């Protein structure tokens, strides 16, 4: 981060040795003294660039700096039209205008100190290339012009520095301050850890090993893609779990491979797909402990790249076993959960749980837990032609039904909507209207409908993908063809993926979120496996009496609430399981309705206020619409401009 001792910048250059203004690589602030530069400081995903690639020892006025190659790969210095290669542990002094090639021929940065600029315009200055059209310029006039240009550059860089200090401070603070107390975690979600980001960007983020931990007796892992070898290596705890059920959506060929390589105590199940082009896409975990059950709903496939390179989200909450007093007690969360699990139709099997007895593991088994403190509502999709009362049970009609029964602040009347996802189905304007009607449901305090909101689609541009942590390879996880993406009616919806406040501009989104907002306040927020498609959300048929859904999906809906719950129960704490309970819920006339806010809200730092719930929405709100130059990513086009790793696509 920029600071008061900063004396200049390393300015990224393009192939024409001009300042790279694409914003794919930022200017790097340089301070007095020793500056260590490498992958941790400069966001370049080139394995040849080490974490401690070189050090730059800058003089007190910034006019010169000593470059020392710290890593094993050579560095090239360009000075006065000459190139000198430095090998490991070799040194060279550089001055204003000299260029560092972090890897020979690649990743060029110009050394631009503030206080050294005027000095470089003295008679002893290094040679500068002639400007086209000014070949016969008198020497005194040339020097005067150079001084003027350099002073203007210094002013511009200083102004940018001041802006950067403020922007970076607020950006860093946004995610750095997201440290919810344990008893508030079920009321929010967390971003997943991304490799290669600055440490502040991973504040309160989670890995798979943070989730699957402790004395797990039974694990039900629901997902689309599953790499068993990676999963066990990333989460060794799974080796000790007696019973593991993997509910997946892999192809038949891949399924055979999984069967041959799975541990003996693992059971694999692919749910029935009665309608063509459907998938089992839900991403969840159900972990049974001696103390209770941990339910996790998230957005990542169980593969390496999803848990290391992408912007992802995860929600989880622990629930205790029911006792004799509440064995028949139900809740909306429980009803939705059991209805969903029963459709999966996995093969039942017996499990013996120490000190608890033997059970048959089926959907009804999960009725044994007390979900009365659930902080979210489940929004699920299952394949089928749903009619009668089932129309409102699944997909966007379930979301419509839940929102219709909610009361929101007046500020959300006709407020905008966000659709953010990683795969776009084949859509038409009629369905978009149908979907927006569901998303716009709900009433305000005066009982008036919130009314329609204008939706925007947050979707990465070609340039976002090209400059991402993975380069064009990231586009394989944004799998939408031109025929879906380039429909004319979609142009009015496109908005940019900008995530500077969470440090995830270059971590391409695999997270899926839908929300209604006003400024930094959220009416509601949905974290889900559902992309924007009829297959995931369903399409009404037969004069709106039937909802056709092709795929399995699962999401969690965050809503404002006036009911207070104790969310402190944990399956991995040290509490006595017989004494550990969810506690009571209460709704009193004095209870304030919770307020959902983003990380950049003025209320987000008030973590001690029970009515303020901060959600780490990874992208900026309101989003910036596409410019005329922005092109939405589609994965079946050719892209010949090389990405940050030097690759083209495909």
Q: Which residues are annotated as catalytic?
A: 281, 510
User: What values do phi and psi take at 193, rounded to 5?
Assistant: -65, 140
Dihedral sign (CA 427, 429, 434, 435): positive
Q: Which residues does 53 contact at the CB level (< 8 Å), separation at least 6?
A: 37, 38, 39, 69, 70, 71, 73, 75, 102
Closest CA to 635 of 460, 456, 452, 442: 460
Q: For residues 283 and 303, is the Cβ–Cβ distance under 8 A?
A: no
Q: For residues 299 and 513, is the Cβ–Cβ distance under 8 A?
A: no
Retrieve residue 515's tokens.
């929300």
Site of tokens 């809200």: 601
| 283 annotated among ligand-binding-site residues | yes
Run of H or E including 267: strand 266-269
CA–CA distance, 31 with 29 (Å, rounded to integer): 7
- Residue 650, preceding peptide bond in cis (omega within 30° of 0): yes
User: What values do phi and psi take at 121, rounded to 5?
Assistant: -95, 10
Q: For residues 534 and 427, is the Cβ–Cβ distance under 8 A?
A: yes
Q: For residues 303 and 227, is the Cβ–Cβ distance under 8 A?
A: yes
* Burial of 74 (C-beta count, 10 Å sphere; 0-12/13-18/19+): middle
User: What values do phi and psi take at 148, rounded to 5?
Assistant: -60, -45
Eight-state DSSP code of residue 41: T
Residue environment code for 84-122, b if the CB has 16+ CB neighbours within 10 A, otherwise e: eebeeeeebebbbbbbbbbbeeebbbbbbbbebbebbbe
CA–CA distance, 603 with 238 (Å, rounded to integer): 39
For residue 56, the SS3 value is strand
CA–CA distance, 617 with 598 (Å, rounded to integer): 6
Q: For residues 321 and 292, is the Cβ–Cβ distance under 8 A?
A: yes
Site of tokens 């974490």: 51
CB neighbourhood size of 255 (10 A): 16
CA–CA distance, 248 with 302 (Å, rounded to integer): 10
Site of tokens 């002094």: 93
Helix residue ranges, H only, 345-428: 395-404
CA–CA distance, 205 with 231 (Å, rounded to integer): 18
Show binding-site residues for substrate.
283, 512
Show binding-site residues.
283, 512
């Amino acid at each position: 981060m920029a600071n008061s001792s900063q004396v200049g910048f390393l300015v990224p250059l393009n192939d024409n040795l001009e300042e790279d203004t694409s914003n794919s690589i930022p200017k790097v602030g340089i301070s007095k003294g020793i500056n260590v530069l490498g992958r941790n400081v400069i966001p370049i995903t080139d394995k040849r660039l080490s974490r401690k690639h070189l050090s730059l020892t800058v003089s007190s006025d910034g006019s010169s700096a000593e470059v020392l190659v710290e890593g094993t790969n050579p560095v090239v210095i360009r000075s006065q039209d000459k190139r000198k290669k430095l090998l490991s542990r070799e040194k060279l002094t550089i001055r204003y205008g000299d260029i560092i090639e972090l890897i020979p021929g690649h990743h060029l940065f110009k050394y631009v100190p503030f206080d050294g600029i005027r000095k470089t315009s003295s008679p002893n200055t290094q040679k500068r290339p002639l400007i086209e059209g000014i070949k016969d310029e008198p020497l005194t006039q040339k020097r005067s012009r150079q001084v003027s240009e350099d002073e203007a550059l210094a002013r511009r860089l200083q102004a940018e520095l001041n802006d950067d200090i403020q922007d970076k401070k607020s950006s860093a603070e946004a995610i750095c301050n997201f440290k919810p107390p344990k008893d508030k975690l079920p009321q929010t979600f967390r971003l997943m850890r991304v490799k290669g980001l600055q440490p502040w960007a991973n504040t309160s983020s989670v890995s798979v090993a943070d989730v699957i931990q402790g004395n797990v007796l039974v694990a039900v892992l629901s997902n689309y893609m599953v790499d068993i070898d990676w999963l066990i290596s990333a989460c060794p705890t799974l080796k000790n779990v007696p019973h593991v059920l993997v509910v997946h959506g892999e192809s038949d060929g891949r399924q055979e491979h999984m069967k041959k390589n799975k541990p003996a105590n693992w059971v694999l199940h692919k749910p029935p797909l009665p309608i063509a082009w459907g998938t089992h896409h839900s991403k969840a975990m159900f972990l049974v402990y001696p103390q209770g059950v941990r339910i996790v709903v998230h957005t990542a496939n169980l593969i390496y790249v999803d848990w290391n390179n992408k912007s992802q989200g995860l929600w989880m909450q622990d629930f205790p076993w029911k006792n004799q007093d509440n064995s028949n007690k139900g809740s909306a969360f429980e009803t939705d959960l059991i209805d969903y699990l029963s459709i999966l139709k996995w093969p039942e099997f017996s499990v013996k749980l120490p000190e608890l007895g033997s059970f048959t593991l089926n959907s009804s088994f999960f009725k044994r837990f007390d979900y009365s403190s659930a902080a979210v509502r489940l929004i699920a999709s299952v394949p089928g032609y749903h009619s009668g009362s089932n129309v409102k049970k699944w997909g966007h009609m379930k979301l419509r039904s839940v929102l219709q029964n909610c009361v929101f602040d007046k500020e959300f009347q006709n407020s905008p909507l966000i659709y953010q996802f990683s795969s776009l189905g084949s859509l038409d304007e009629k369905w978009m209207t149908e979907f927006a009607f569901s998303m716009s449901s709900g009433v305000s305090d005066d009982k008036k409908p919130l009314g329609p909101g204008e939706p925007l689609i947050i979707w990465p541009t070609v340039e976002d993908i090209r400059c991402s942590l993975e380069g064009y390879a990231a586009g394989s996880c944004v799998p939408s063809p031109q025929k879906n993406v380039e429909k004319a009616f979609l142009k009015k919806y496109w908005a940019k993926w900008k995530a500077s406040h969470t440090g995830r501009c270059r971590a391409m989104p695999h997270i899926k979120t839908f929300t209604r907002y006003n400024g930094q306040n959220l009416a509601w927020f949905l974290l889900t496996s559902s992309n924007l498609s009829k297959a995931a959300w369903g399409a009404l048929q037969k004069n709106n009496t039937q909802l056709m859904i092709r795929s399995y999906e699962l999401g969690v809906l965050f809503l404002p609430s006036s009911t207070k719950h104790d969310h402190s129960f944990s399956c991995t704490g040290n509490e006595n399981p017989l004494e550990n309970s969810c506690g009571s819920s209460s709704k009193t006339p004095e209870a304030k309705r919770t307020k959902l806010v983003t990380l950049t809200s003025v209320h987000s730092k008030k973590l001690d206020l029970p009515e303020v719930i901060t959600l780490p929405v990874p992208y900026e709100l309101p989003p910036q619409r596409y410019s005329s130059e922005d092109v939405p990513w589609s994965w079946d086009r050719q892209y010949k401009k090389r990405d940050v790793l030097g690759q083209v696509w495909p």
